[in-house]
Amino acid sequence: MFLPKNVMLLIRSLHIYLSMFALLLVLFFSMTGFMMNHSEFFGIEKTETAESKVTIPHDLLPAEGAATNEIALAAYFHDTLHLMGEPDTAGAGDDPIHLVFKSPRGRDDIEIARATGEATITHTTKSLTGVLSNLHKAADTGSSWKRVVDATAILLVLISLTGLVLWMTLAKRRTLGLISLAVSVVVCAGVLWIIL
């Protein structure tokens, strides 16, 4: 395989520096993927639950028949009780009012009695391995971490393609590389054929 020297230099540089840049992310996703594959051993599903109660200021509660200000309620819990994560206000119009805050570390389920303003908060906290599993899946992480996951996927594609091109330029080892690639494709296709 012949490519101009400047193209090869660019491909080699891309392969080296993209690999180094993505090293920690590749290690993270490979280790957490292994953990998720053995979730019982690593206790990924283990959680701790606690409950607390607070009274909501009456000015945040709607009058009878009025709509609930979901944004103001969510801001109150975020600012006052420092609940983390994205608020889900789908049940804010119900009676009792339901709010949920979700983050990789767990969730906070809030139930507010309209008449009294008393809120019961159920805190569910995941184990460290559960948090790492959520980060791997980008579950309840928000858009910033999802962009990191997308960028990692793109980096892996580029690293793989530049590595393949570099291998193809090694005349003495090209055949062995193609055989390895063919065996990999056959093994993966065979396993998929069996399980699907």
Give the pLDDT mean for 156-184. 86
The predicted structure's pLDDT at residue 97: 82
Give the pLDDT mean for 5-13. 88
- Amino acid 134 reads N
Predicted TM-score (pTM) of this structure: 0.78
The predicted structure's pLDDT at residue 86: 81
Distances 167 to 20, 173, 186 between C-alpha atoms, Å:
18, 8, 20
Residue 146 CB neighbours (<10 A): 12
**Res. 3 pLDDT band, cuts 50 70 90:** confident
Structure tokens at 190: 């065979």
Residue 83 CB neighbours (<10 A): 21
Contact indicator for 74, 81 with CB cutoff of 8 Å: no
The predicted structure's pLDDT at residue 175: 83
Per residue in 128-147, pLDDT tens?
999 999 999 998 888 889 99
Contact indicator for 111, 138 with CB cutoff of 8 Å: no
